[in-house]
Structure 1
Amino acid sequence: MIDELWERRAGLSPADEKATLVVTEALDRLDRGVDRVAGIDPVTDAVVVDERSRRAILLAFRLYALTETHAGPFHFRDRLPLKQRFDGVRLVPGAIARFGAYLAPGSVLMPSFVNVGAYVGAGTMVDTWATVGSCAQIGARVHLSGGVGIGGVLEPEGAVPVVVEDDAFVGSRSIVVEGARVRTGANLGAGTLLTGTTRVVDATTGEDLPRGEAPPWSVCVTAYRQQQFPGGVFGTPCLLVLRRLAPGETPDNLRISELFREHGYAL
């Protein structure tokens, strides 16, 4: 039904009540965690996108009418309503989650923003002023520190959302966008920039690793490589893998802080 609506999306409007019900059911499945916009294929280890779920979100912006709401003196005008299902979730005043985002039991949201289609796993902390963009997939026991920006993706079709896997730590003010992937147990230092095309370098060997991915069980920071351009030599950002951790190793913050201070960085 979503595919059929997508083919005639140009003619849809809020007056199409049956179409609106179909899309609402699809978003409700995302909201409850029954469906996900994306996940990891257990065989290929690739990120696989459910295009129907993403299409349902895009259709909602065409089918839902602009509605005015307010909370005390604050007034809003939007198409998508806010999330109303918070079973087992701690939601601090100032935190915002839109309908169609899933928050697993045990997750904690400080004043932050979680967009439609996003998935936040059990035991994950979304810290103050952090943003989880549309369709971003955040695993279990992840810590998104203050001011972290996790990018979203609704268009174009085929684009892969950001994935932060289980047990990862993303340091304050870091930016992870454009389909980048933070693998299981990876630790990103404060201010780390990771895009889908960022070069990743092993600090010990100088080896180039897969672009756009923080390796599993690693400690990473943003560094710069000198590169020759027609206009001169400039430093281009890369992700520097400072250290590999043993699988399952979860060093405490003091140990991580000591490691970053040793290399001249701070969390």
Structure 2
Amino acid sequence: MSAPKTSIDSPIDPIIDELWDRRADLTPDDADARKTIVAAVDAIDAGIARVATVAADGSVVVDERAKRAILLSFKVLPMAESAAGDFQYHDRMPLKTRFDGVRVVPGAIVRWGAHVQPGAILMPSYTNIGGYVGAGTLVDTWATVGSCAQVGSNVHLSGGVGLGGVLEPPNAVPVVIEDDAFVGSRCMVVDGARVRRGAKLGAGAILTASTHVFDANTGEEYPRGEIPERAVAVGSSRLKSFPGGEFAMPCILVLRTLAEGEIHDKLALNDVLREHGVAG
């Protein structure tokens, strides 16, 4: 995978860096520090700041200061009681309250510090602090957007998808799902793995930063932990020799690369999967 870059253009107050250096001494009694940290996380919540973005050269740029603000919030926010209807909670983090233009189905949970753009649909699901969900994206039932995971626009996260979270170390790259991607039911994308623009990942696949990704037609190996742009990919396995014998290790197979005009065509995905005997 391409190495993440650290943003030098963060919209977050640089005082966060000073607070980070003395984080061991911070407590909920530090009112000035709490005010600064809450303002920083509010900026992430509102989409003014983002934990990570994809730069013009295709690299993932991590805003280390934004992640530091999130981590510091756990130091300065006291435990508090909250409720949603009959459900009672006891936590340092409140639930998100800003959902302009977002459809939030009962049972969906979003933590403060996550940003959801107008036009997104959240079925009963979970989006953690620092997460980002783009416009027109569907987060389907029981899907999880882990801490700081970045999901682009017009993405479909199918039922039960798990996007892993990452908070420490602050400059670690989060999971990134780019615009127009489709992630099939029960897929797991973790450890800073990436699904590039328009890619389709078949049901049940597991993608980590170290997962090998192969072209099924040529045997070519792509960068580990990344589904290439517009690829139709499925989970598979390959034999690897160990002192104790040969064992099947998980990998990802790219069955086909869709043409540019096929990015939004889910029927094309289903046809490719059926052709290879894979369930959609």
Q: TM-score range by the shorter chain?
A: over 0.9
**Is this contact kept in 2: 1:185–1:248, CA < 8 A?**
no
Where 2:168 maps in the other structure, the secondary structure is coil
Aligned residues: CA RMSD: 1.0
Pair 1:258 & 2:271 matched: yes
Pair 1:20 & 2:69 matched: no
Match of 2:43 in 1: 29
Within 5 Å, give how 1:183-222 maps onto structure 2: 183-222=196-235
Alignment deviations for residues 63-93 of structure 1 (CA, whole Å, 9 cap, x no partner):
0011112233322111010100000000000
TM-score (norm 2): 0.93
Against the structure 1 CA distance between its residues 137 and 248, is the aligned structure 2 distance closer, same or farther, given a 3 Å change threshold?
Answer: farther
Where 1:235 maps in the other structure, the secondary structure is strand
Alignment deviations for residues 157-207 of structure 1 (CA, whole Å, 9 cap, x no partner):
321000000000000000000010100000000001111110000001011
Question: 1: CA distance between counterparts of 2:149 and 2:264?
Answer: 26
| Identical amino acids, percent of aligned pairs | 61
- Residue 251 of structure 1 deviates from its aligned partner by 5.6
Question: 2: CA distance between counterparts of 1:248 and 1:196?
Answer: 29
Question: 1: CA distance between counterparts of 2:185 and 2:172?
Answer: 26
Structure 2 residue corresponding to 1:147, chosen from 133, 138, 160: 160
Where 2:253 maps in the other structure, the secondary structure is strand
- Residue 262 of structure 1 deviates from its aligned partner by 1.7
Pair 1:58 & 2:74 matched: no
Pair 1:11 & 2:28 matched: no
Match of 1:227 in 2: 240
TM-score (norm 1): 0.97
Alignment deviations for residues 83-137 of structure 1 (CA, whole Å, 9 cap, x no partner):
0000000000000111110000000000000000111100000000000001111
**Is this contact kept in 1: 2:188–2:207, CA < 8 A?**
yes
Question: 2: CA distance between counterparts of 1:20 and 1:113?
Answer: 26
Q: Which amino acid aligns with 1:209?
A: Y
Structure 2 residue corresponding to 1:114, chosen from 117, 123, 127: 127
Within 5 Å, give how 1:176-187 maps onto structure 2: 176-187=189-200
Gaps of 5+ in 2: 1-14
Alignment deviations for residues 27-79 of structure 1 (CA, whole Å, 9 cap, x no partner):
1100110110001121x321111010000000000100111122333221110
Structure 2 residue corresponding to 1:128, chosen from 141, 158, 162: 141
- Residue 247 of structure 1 deviates from its aligned partner by 2.0
Against the structure 1 CA distance between its residues 256 and 197, is the aligned structure 2 distance closer, same or farther, given a 3 Å change threshold?
Answer: same
Where 1:135 maps in the other structure, the secondary structure is coil
Question: 2: CA distance between counterparts of 1:89 and 1:46?
Answer: 29
Higher deviation after alignment, 157-166 or 69-78: 69-78
**Is this contact kept in 1: 2:198–2:231, CA < 8 A?**
yes
**Is this contact kept in 2: 1:126–1:143, CA < 8 A?**
yes
Match of 2:80 in 1: 67
**Is this contact kept in 2: 1:115–1:132, CA < 8 A?**
yes
Count of residue pairs the alignment pairs up: 266
**Is this contact kept in 2: 1:103–1:119, CA < 8 A?**
yes
